[in-house]
Amino acid sequence: MARAPRATRGNKGVVYGDQQIVRGTGGETNQRAEEGYDLLTDAQGHPVADDQNTLRQGVRGPALIEDSHFREKIFHFDHERIPERVVHARGYGAHGYFENYTSQADLTRADLFQREGERTPVFVRFSTVAGNKGSSDLARDVRGFAVKFYTQEGNWDLVGNNIPVFFIQDAIKFPDIIHAAKQEPDKEFPQAATAHDNFWDFISLTPESMHMVMWIMSDRTLPRSFRFMEGFGVHTFRLVNAKGKSTFVKFHWKPKLGVQSVIWNEAVKINGADPDFHRRDLWNAIQTGNFPEWELGFQTFDEEFAANFDFDVLDPTKLIPEEILPVQLVGRMVLDRMPENFFVETEQVAFMTQNVVPGIDFSNDPLLQGRNFSYLDTQLKRLGGPNFTHLPINAPKCPMHNFQQDGHMAFHNPAGRANYEPNSWGGKIGGPRESVERGFQTLAVEADGPKVRQRPDTFADHYSQARQFLISQSPIEQQHMTDALVFELSKVEVPTIRLRMLGHLRNIDEAFAQSVADGLGIAELPPAATPAVATRNDLAASDALSILKNPVGTFAGRKLGVLITDGVDAKLVDALKAAIDAAGAVMELVAPMVGGVVASDGTRIVAHHKIDGAPSVVFDAVAILVGDEGVLSLLKLPPARDFVTDAYAHYKFVGFTDPAAKLFARVGLPDDLDDGFVPLKTARDAKTFVTTLGQMRFWDRPDGA
């Protein structure tokens, strides 16, 4: 294969070899037919000049519907799967409500934000992105976080992720990033995994993805639960008030229980023990009345801020640090009801970014513009026809009137004589009429410039915020990112792909690149990739981007697994249960047999799980409450030994009674136990232990995973 030319900056775009192409600063390698490649054409055989940028009115202007190449490309992509979603196939949802804190009328005329305390019904769907419908919950992956608000003026779909940035800057590249991440088409594996050549080949040729790479290699892609995830609208939107004043906004969801992730070794074992781990967690929380909550936050700013900010607010690969622009919390969302039927609701729900209500409008973000086109087409394919909005899960809860009729699976048609407008029939027979006062009006924003396939120069910095994210992490989180990259790139079979990635990492941080190279056994770092814009080293760390720098300090919403045997102290079990209940957490008992054990006072305690069905990886912390004789039975059980060694390796707090020392010795734990091991003798010890669990993990354990 011909060697791909190196890109350099040009005053009209990017220069590739000896050919200057008027395009953007995305940095993608232009693999030209003249150098040994086949000529790229559309499905009609028309040669394609630019497959990297949608056509727009001016470099920062809106996308144009006349872009037939983009429309054909995204149309074909949207129709690739029958009937499963192409992306976000594995999802789980719940009903609830959004409660507005105070009126936001100064910012937006959106009805749901006008009145203090008003509740708006919502349906939320969480999902993985790359895996198929039958994949496991704890793949290393971005998580979808889509919210449908059933407002009094129609449905608003806030279709976001648990990461605030994305891989690409232009929607025309969306089929490419997903194709690269999905199973390789000849092998049809691996699924729900990016640890393969195609993904990293694409990424290593797409410098704009480097910020997202830092996020997907972080602990954010291994969430402990849907309940412990942040959510982001990703794009810059607009809020418009009743006077027509516009304010830019970025949307945030902040979990009341804090953000928490698992570590990679846990994720691998959880997927084996319970591939429905996230689904089960949400189901159990809602069924037991522990309703998950998030607060909705706005980052609002004006044109002056946008013009002076270090990066382009229309670039979906960039974020605005909370230290620069704090998040204003405007309401809370509570999920309190599971669907009655998974298929009817969670599988048939249709989210579309273009579903906004009066008072919310779009920016010219090129990825958002493309999504607005794509989602409607997707629903047509997946749900079989134009009447998917008639399905109860998708139908507005406010009155709906229009002249649309017939079509596949029509549930209702307009009543009366008129099925068109304008018409001269009066009253109800004439049907609905538009309203200038109440209807949605697009903000009048001027767009000027030539029709071009080009990205603005303000999109050209691909490394500075990637570096900022890295330096914002704690040393533990940075090590996890190093380990993740080493693991992923070790699965890449073509050495040059690894070297290209290391060249990009050098532009982010030299020491970080070296640590990844060391993990891969690469003796000499390759030259750094040529950046379109040099990396900035003056961006301050943002602690808000770290999970571990923002501890929750409580065990609420978490789960303690307690391994018990015959001879256990029943009063200690009761004391631990009382302390866990008081903390708003859950305690589950694990025993050699699910029938339970006989306590020291002769009573029988029934277990929730058999030992080989509930390994310690499915709990946030564990306790070993065993009797003198009962512990002897555990010494012979490999699952019991794994229960302890995994808890130790995963930095979990371990409460224990004295006889557990025999089990610790059997698995080779140090004689001098660290402070993550808490002796349990009395009810007071139980309370102290549960308070300690608010630290979540005991990271000062050198021999952890």
Q: Single out the residue of 156, 305, 153, 159 nearest to residue 242, CA to CA.
A: 153
- 155 has catalytic annotation: no
171 vs 174: CA distance, rounded Å: 5
At which residue do the structure tokens 């990637």 appear? 466
Catalytic residue among 30, 100, 155, 161: 161
Cis peptide before 121 (omega within 30 of 0): no
Cis peptide before 422 (omega within 30 of 0): yes
The CA angle 114-119-125, to the nearest 5 degrees, is: 115
**Cβ-contact 317, 25 below 8 angstroms:** no
**Cβ-contact 473, 545 below 8 angstroms:** yes
193 vs 138: CA distance, rounded Å: 10
Pair type for strands 19-21 and 13-16: antiparallel
Q: Single out the residue of 299, 221, 285 nearest to residue 256, CA to CA.
A: 285
Give me the phi and psi of 219, to 5 degrees please. Answer: -70, -10
The CA angle 693-695-698, to the nearest 5 degrees, is: 95
465 vs 179: CA distance, rounded Å: 26
- Region label for 349, one of left (φ > 0), alpha (ψ between -120 and 50) or beta (otherwise): beta
First to last CA, the chain: 41
Structure tokens at 436: 């200038």
**Cβ-contact 101, 329 below 8 angstroms:** yes
Based on DSSP, count helices (H) and strands (E) in the chain, helices before strands.
18, 23
If DSSP states are collapsed to H, E and C, what string results for 310-375?
CCCCCCCCCCCCCCCCCCEEEEEEEEEECCCCHHHHHHCCCCCCCCCCCCEEECCCHHHHHHHHHH
The CA angle 119-121-127, to the nearest 5 degrees, is: 130
At which residue do the structure tokens 């249960």 appear? 577
6 vs 530: CA distance, rounded Å: 8
173 vs 290: CA distance, rounded Å: 41
The one-character DSSP state at 217 is T
Structure tokens at 107: 């910012």
Beta strands in 450-542 (DSSP E): 451-452
Render the burial of 307-323: b for 16+ CB within 10 Å, e for the rest: eeebbbbbbbbbbbbee
214 vs 463: CA distance, rounded Å: 10
Paired with 277 in beta bridges are none
**Cβ-contact 74, 86 below 8 angstroms:** no
111 vs 153: CA distance, rounded Å: 7
Catalytic residue among 53, 69, 88, 387: 88
Query: For the chain, how many residues are written?
Result: 705
- 88 has catalytic annotation: yes
Q: Which residues are catalytic?
A: 88, 161
